[in-house]
Amino acid sequence: MSGTYVQTARHGGSFYVHSLWIEAAMPYRTVEDLPEAQTDQYNAHQKEAFLEAFNSAYEQYEHDESRAFAVAHSAAKKAGVRPGPG
């Protein structure tokens, strides 16, 4: 589990310590969480590629959404149609 542990203290007659665990969450956890306007042109396989690429790029490029969307669109287009049975 990744996250950040924060402690704050305040002096002024009393001493306070506040602890908080903040989980570093992915911007989108599932394909259903993706913005429809960004992904409606893709099939299910491409949406999975979009999701993985967006989340990875979002972290890599320090939460730069426009850059992450560009990377994700590129990955979805490259994923193409997944070969299946039949």
Q: With 50 as the cut, is the pLDDT of residue 80 above it?
A: yes
Residue 50 near residue 72 (C-beta atoms within 8 A)? yes
**Mean pLDDT, range 30-43, rounded to an integer:** 95
| Sign of the dihedral defined by the CA atoms of residues 57, 59, 65, 66, in that order | negative
Band (pLDDT 50/70/90 cuts) for residue 73 is very high
Instruction: Write down the pTM of the prediction.
Output: 0.67
Domains and CATH numbers, the chain: 3-79 (1.10.1740)
